[in-house]
């Protein structure tokens, strides 16, 4: 026995439960068709909802920024890592989100961790949805605040916990995904906002899967529910529909100014690379100039959803994430494998990531009718 034998044992347990995960190398440029194990497959597995990650214009923007500034930003933003380009991106995000200001982080994960740590501490309370993203949950733990979860989208449970606990703490922060990433449903934002007002709580909403996807102009679920301009803490990522890498917080000027002075994952980390910054900036321009992308995305979602429900039970969804529930991890893996053999790439999502196994389709604006038809054929759905 040595100090590290437990690791092997632990891995064995993971294998036994069919919970073991390994990376799958994809080749070729990001897009609706990618190469997996040397075979071209239709991609229903990416977060690249608008097909921008492989867009020539983003690539060119990244190349030009790299030539101009170099590959790295060489320091933290407060020391030597700040470029004009970063500020341009922040202003573009604020404009897309229709907020007073915005700040970019190196990833959405870091945006959540740093923001939560800056907003609450040991004398405070966090109330989070049970299905929140890992970054919200770990951010909550790291903040040192008391953390309570409420049942998924359950307003009665949340209200009950607010009534019981709110007065025992200084500040209160409610946290929620806006689109739940492994299910595809939306948080009940208007009701959450109302409770936040009633109990004097801050409300942080993670728009990772909604930015560039929901709302009339792609601003997200806040826009979808007509809550633009309300005092919310809106977090998102540049790595999903925006096709780049990085995270953001959008909100009131004072909030953003405060985060620049208090968010440890912004202060003590290197500024976003010029390439990522320029690509994200270009993506926002395209989203503004080509609203047909969002339109195409929703047309595809509508068609696939209608077809799937002919034969399968899908989890409640109001987003481009559609899930077919499976009885167990083995079934989910077999189904995914069968589709992959037919040239369709859909991931099987299993515990412990989610409570129940499922096939998780994410739909893209750039899936063509031929791609959809091939999917329907392999799922043996009627024409
Ligand atoms: C993807 C995701 C993140 C993390 O964003 P990254 O930029 O990839 O680090 C945070 N929250 C949610 C809900 C996500 O889906």
- 359: three-class secondary structure by DSSP: strand
Task: Give yes or no: residues 236 and 366 share one domain.
Answer: no
Together in a domain, 260 and 142: yes
Per the structure, the count of domains in the chain is 2
Structural domain includes residue 333: yes
243 part of a folded domain? yes
In this structure, are 296 and 276 located in the same domain? no
Residues 226 and 361 in one domain: no
**Phi-psi region at 242: left, alpha or beta (left = phi > 0; alpha = psi -120 to 50):** alpha
Residue 15 inside a domain? The answer is no
Beta pairing partners, 11: none
**C-alpha span between 128 and 346 (Å, rounded):** 29
The helix or strand, by DSSP H or E, that contains position 104, with its residue range, turns out to be: strand 101-105
In angstroms, what is the span from residue 208 Cα to ligand 1's centroid? 5
CA 130–ligand 1 middle distance (angstroms): 16
CA 235 to ligand 1 center in whole angstroms: 9
**DSSP per-residue letters across 269-318:** SBPPPHHHHHHHHHHHHHHHH-THHHHHHHHHHHHHHHHHHHH--B---S
Give the C-alpha separation, 175 to 133, whole Å.
10
Residues 252 and 148 in one domain: yes
Same domain, residue pair 70 and 60: yes
Residue ranges, the chain, pLDDT below 50: none
For ligand 1, the distance from its centroid to the CA atom of residue 167, given in whole angstroms, is 31
End-to-end, the C-alpha distance of the chain in Å comes to: 61
Angle ∠(294,48,238) on CA atoms, nearest 5: 95
- The number of angstroms, rounded, from the C-alpha of 351 to the middle of its chain's C-alpha atoms is 19
Residues 275 and 304 in one domain: no
For residue 200, tell me if it sits in a domain.
Answer: yes
DSSP classification of residue 23: -
Q: List, in sequence order, every residue forming a beta bridge with 202; answer none if it has no partner.
A: 173
Among protein residues, the one with the nearest Cα to ligand 1's atom 8 is 108
Q: Are residues 98 and 226 in the same domain?
A: yes
Of 49, 109, 111, 112, best ligand 1 pocket probe by most atoms within 8 Å of the beta carbon: 109
Return the structure tokens found at 29.
Answer: 């440029």
Helix (H) or strand (E) holding 191: helix 189-198
Distance CA 138, CA 239 (A): 20
Domain-located, residue 2 = no
What pLDDT does 383 receive? 64
- Whether 49 is in a domain gets the answer no
CA–CA dist 338, 78 (Å, integer): 51
pLDDT value of residue 353: 85
Give the 3-state secondary structure of residue 322. strand
Whether residues 339 and 215 fall in one domain: no
Please check whether residues 81 and 38 belong to one and the same domain: no
The CB density around residue 190, as the number of other CB atoms within 10 Å, is 12
pLDDT at position 42 is 98
**How far is it, in rounded angstroms, from Cα 346 to Cα 360?**
6
Which residues, other chains included, contact 109 with Cβ-Cβ below 8 Å and sequence gap of 6+? 134, 135, 247
* pLDDT, position 21: 85
- Domain carrying residue 39: 25-44+291-382
Tell which one of 47, 114, 239, 353 to mutate to probe ligand 1, the residue whose CB is within 8 A of the most ligand atoms.
239
pLDDT at position 22, please?
A: 87
The answer to whether residue 37 is domain-embedded is: yes
User: Residue with the nearest Cα to atom 14 of ligand 1?
Assistant: 208
Predicted pLDDT at 24: 86
What residue's CA is closest to ligand 1, atom 6? 108
Pocket test for ligand 1, best of 135, 210, 238 (most atoms within 8 A of CB): 135
pLDDT digits (tens, 9 = 90+) for 219-262: 999 999 999 999 999 999 999 999 999 999 999 999 999 999 99
Kindly state whether residues 155 and 220 are assigned to the same domain: yes
At 50-104, the pLDDT tens digits run 999 999 999 999 999 999 999 999 999 999 999 999 999 999 999 999 999 999 9
**Ligand 1 atom with minimal separation from the 177 CA:** 13
Q: What is the pTM of this model?
A: 0.96
Same domain, 277 and 296: no
Find out whether 224 and 214 touch, Cβ atoms under 8 Å. yes
Which atom of ligand 1 has the smallest separation from the CA of 136? 11
Judge if the beta carbon of residue 206 lies within 6 A of ligand 1.
Answer: yes
CATH number at residue 344: 3.90.1150.10
Task: Give the domain CATH number at 116.
Answer: 3.40.640.10
């Amino acid at each position: 026995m040595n100090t590290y034998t437990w690791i092997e044992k632990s891995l064995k347990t993971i294998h036994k439960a069919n919970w073991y995960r390994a990376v799958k190398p994809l080749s070729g440029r990001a897009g609706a068709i990618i190469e997996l194990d040397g075979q071209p497959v239709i991609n229903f597995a990416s977060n690249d909802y608008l097909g921008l990650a492989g867009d020539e214009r983003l690539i060119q923007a990244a190349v030009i920024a790299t030539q101009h500034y170099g590959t790295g930003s060489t320091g933290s933003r407060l020391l030597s890592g700040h470029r004009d380009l970063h500020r341009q991106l922040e202003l573009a995000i604020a404009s897309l989100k229709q907020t007073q200001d915005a700040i970019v982080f190196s990833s959405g994960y870091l945006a959540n961790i740093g923001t939560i740590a800056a907003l609450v501490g040991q004398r405070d309370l966090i109330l989070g949805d049970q299905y929140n993203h890992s970054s919200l949950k770990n951010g909550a733990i790291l903040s040192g605040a008391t953390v309570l979860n409420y049942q998924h989208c359950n307003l009665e449970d949340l209200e009950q916990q607010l009534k019981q606990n709110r007065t025992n703490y200084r500040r209160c922060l409610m946290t929620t995904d806006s689109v739940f990433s492994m299910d595809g449903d939306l948080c009940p934002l208007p009701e959450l906002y109302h409770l936040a007002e009633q109990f004097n709580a801050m409300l942080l909403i993670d728009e990772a899967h909604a930015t560039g996807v929901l709302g009339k102009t792609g601003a997200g679920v806040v826009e979808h529910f007509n809550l633009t301009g309300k005092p919310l803490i809106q977090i998102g990522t540049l790595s999903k529909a925006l096709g780049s890498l990085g995270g953001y917080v959008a909100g009131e000027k004072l909030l953003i100014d405060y985060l620049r002075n208090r968010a440890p994952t912004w202060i003590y980390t290197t500024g976003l690379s010029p390439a990522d910054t320029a690509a994200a900036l270009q993506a926002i321009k395209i989203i503004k100039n080509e609203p047909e992308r969002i339109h195409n995305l929703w047309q595809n979602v509508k068609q696939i959803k209608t077809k799937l429900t002919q034969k399968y039970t899908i989890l409640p969804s109001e987003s481009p994430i559609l899930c077919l529930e499976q009885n167990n991890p083995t079934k989910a893996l077999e189904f995914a494998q069968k589709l992959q053999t037919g040239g369709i790439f859909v991931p099987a999502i299993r515990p412990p990531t989610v409570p129940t196994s499922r096939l998780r389709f994410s739909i893209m604006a750039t899936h063509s009718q031929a791609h959809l038809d091939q999917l329907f054929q392999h799922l043996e759905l009627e024409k």
